[in-house]
Chain A
Amino acid sequence: MTAVENPAPQQDSTTYRPSPVQRLLPFAIAAVVPFILGATTENVNFWWKALITVVVLAVVARMAWVWTPRGELTHREDMRLWRTPSDRSWAAVTVFGLLVLPFILASDFTPPMDFPWATWFAVVNLVLIFAMGAAAFNLLVGYSGQISLAHVAFLALGSIVGGIVGVQWSGGNMWVALPAAALAGAVVGAISGLPALRLKHLYLLLATFGFHFVMMLVWREYLQEYFGFVGIRFKGENSPRIASWLHWLPGIDPDDNGEFIITGQFRWYWVLMPITVLSILFMVNVVRTREGRAFAAVRDRDVSASLLGINVARSKLLAFALSSAVVSMSGVLASFYIGSRGEDSFNVQTVLNYAIIIVVGGFSSIQGAIFGSAFFWFLPEWFKWAREELWIVRDIDFLSDYPSEIDLAIKGFLVVIILMFKPDGLAGLWKDVKGWIGRSLARRGP
């Protein structure tokens, strides 16, 4: 036996290019398999479904990992959103996960210890709406550095536009209300950003908070003028309907009145998930192209940015307009999803909730908003479950006597813990985990 003279070249130093088919195959599988599963496994035991899901997850992750360009990357390859094996793997898992999730959540399943399965679907849909709004908020506050508290004002604006365009004019046409809200949000957002041209930091925060109260006034006046005490109803005769060109899709049947109403968590998921994903992708794309880079430049050093030829005032207003447009859209979605909006739907507490979401999620990461809103919505569910079902915990009377206070206290405590030990939030934590998994997989070789 002689010693190995030519050790295998390092994975990264060799140039490897997958064929276009190889490059897209894992994503194609991730996109198609959930629907096949959903169509064929309706009566299959939940655990079998879970097993199949995990196996497919592993397969697409592995395929995406292996079929990644390696070696010296061209500019085009370097520009891709998912560049590294680990990025591509997680992307494939995410695509598959997002598409398979509703089928799993919709399946009849009683988890051990009465784990609150039934409420999960509603929570997931709320997370989607909040993630969209919080991501846009984070683009403005975290990424562009323009401290604003006018966030909830734009949710209210979304409800107003939803009320005018979606209810008063069209009797439940959410699809017209969404672009209208985006347009109104962009215009009003740019106006609300005007103080940013003169003010910074705490002063800007106060100015935008003033805008919040102005908008609350508009909201109340609007409600009283047209809807009265009960608020706007976005359900019933005002429910959004499925566009007629989508009626051919499987599983889309008219109800007893012959209407195609978007109702139930499953249908809502297919409305909310694509809109949220597309709007977050839009913002991520903005961040990695010219105007988004300018946002970061203005945030870090505005004098330096202006000497690079960036019109600082325009850049700030653009950030406000983009963020507000997306937040207004999420306001429309929230109105129609929740079904009614009244006088007390928007308050200062909501502003703080969104602030908690982006701080916990990760301040300068757009994706962090997703983690933040998941944290925000899942935690109370788990607390509730633990209080009622979890062994030992359920016997502590003190906890069930003061449920909301204890929830708040634990939540606040967790926020402090996260900020102390992980200032870049859950997104930072996730990055660490991803890096750790990636490294331990890479060590094991191809």
Chain B
Amino acid sequence: MTDLNQLERDLLSQVDAAGDEAALEAVRVSALGKKGSVSELLKTLGAMTPEERKERGPLINGLRDKVQGAILAKKETLAEAALEARLSAERIDVTLPVPEAPESRGRIHPISQVIEELTAIFADMGFSVAEGPDIETDYLNFTALNFPEGHPAREMHDTFFLAPDEKGERKVLRTHTSPVQIRTMTSQKPPIRVIIPGRTYRHDSDQTHTPMFHQVEGLVIDRQANIAHMKWILEEFCKAFFEVDQVKMRFRPSFFPFTEPSAEVDIQCSRKGGEIRFGEGTDWLEILGCGMVHPNVLRNCGLDPDEVQGFAWGMGIDRIAMLKYGMPDLRPFFEADVRWLNHYGFRPLDIPSLVSGLTS
């Protein structure tokens, strides 16, 4: 009996003393391997009498289980310790930078962003988007829009001309997006509700003018659209676009060859601390021009001004972008300075929508 107890103490202390998996394995082989001390004892069971086996069997098997259990437990402890040791050796400097994600580097130009914003608003009011070429005929840019030949109103437009063709006709870079009004009215039947965003050009360059800029026009033609509707559309647009609950607008009679009556529209604002706020304050800021489509323009499109009527308006996209987002100057819009674009541009996934808001 004593030899079994002794063996158990010896083996358990060897297990305990094993410093690593190899040492533990050596202990296991010495005890439980083919020729191991415990295995040898187990072999003796076969030669025993039933009585002897009844007595010795459980003892020897118990010894085996105990040793086996100890080895397993030790194995886990060692594995734990080994993992511990490995983990304490495996260290990274988490403050090292990762490359900045492309999604956070990319930018959308404010003009593109604002076009998407106003498209979202007008789409909700049932408008679609019409477009036309930048190089226009003199007829569509001026004559069809009721700019008489040689009229001083043409001079207001500082037009870029292309070289005359074989017939002596010279095309122009459109001075406004209004020729698309004509293209729309001659290609589709009323009712018409379109907005027309696009590039426009005037021979003008100073602090507040660039030879290329962006306009958006709106055109509504049906059998009843009048100034009251136009006022509603424009007020709703301004509230939605500038994301304010109230705006105060002032409609001043004015003159455009292609509308009659015509008006210019100012929007009330405050300029406290150099920041423009709409819906408050006492200053007026000119924001757009509008009017009822001139009967001559309707006639030029084959429409009868006694049958159909409608209104149109136009504003500078760059200008409303500046008013909303606070760029002080127009010129940098077209200079592609990445410092400006990073600052005033929009993140790639800031997609304007009326569902989630025009701006995040």
Do these two chains really belong together in a complex? no
